[in-house]
Amino acid sequence: MIVAADRAQSIDRRGAGRTRGVGIGRATGGSVAELESELESLLIDFTEDYPRIKDIRMELDLLKAESDRVLSVKPADSGRLTLALGKLILGKLGHSVALKRLLTQYQDGHPSVKKEKRQVEIFEAAIKEILG
């Protein structure tokens, strides 16, 4: 409802922070291609233990899950698949990757972990509100 719309506008005004691309179709397609390209180039010089490679793999896994979620939307509800929703999804993905990275270093009670968890929850709530 209003909260999701306000959140989407807020993200829009900030330039969407960590997003890579526009709209649902282009955001997921463009980001996947960019991430896979970056991954392939990094794998030439680095091992699987390199932090950026781990981050990219996490992003790709999360992006696939969100992509499947978007593709499961019924054609009658396709009007809900907006640019703002795409930005919310990509914002959530960015915070989810940051959260997973933090959880490798800190426990659940750490303030940074709590902050990222809350960010993911906020984005997820806004996404659920739009998708229903």
Instruction: Give per-residue pLDDT as tens, 6-63.
Output: 444 444 433 333 333 333 434 445 578 888 999 999 999 999 999 899 889 988 999 8
Euclidean distance between CA atoms 36 and 112, whole angstroms: 29
Work out the percent of the chain whose per-residue pLDDT is above 90. 50
Cα angle for residues 82, 88, 89 (degrees, 5° grid) = 90
C-beta of residue 12 within 8 angstroms of C-beta of residue 84 = yes
Euclidean distance between CA atoms 127 and 106, whole angstroms: 27
Euclidean distance between CA atoms 92 and 18, whole angstroms: 9
Euclidean distance between CA atoms 40 and 24, whole angstroms: 24
Here the tokens at position 8 are 């989407």
Q: In the structure, what pLDDT confidence band is assigned to residue 1 with cuts at 50, 70 and 90?
A: very low
Here the tokens at position 31 are 């980001």
Domain ranges for the chain: 2-131
Euclidean distance between CA atoms 96 and 105, whole angstroms: 15
C-beta of residue 31 within 8 angstroms of C-beta of residue 88 = no
pTM reported for the whole predicted model: 0.69
Q: What is the average pLDDT score of the chain?
A: 80
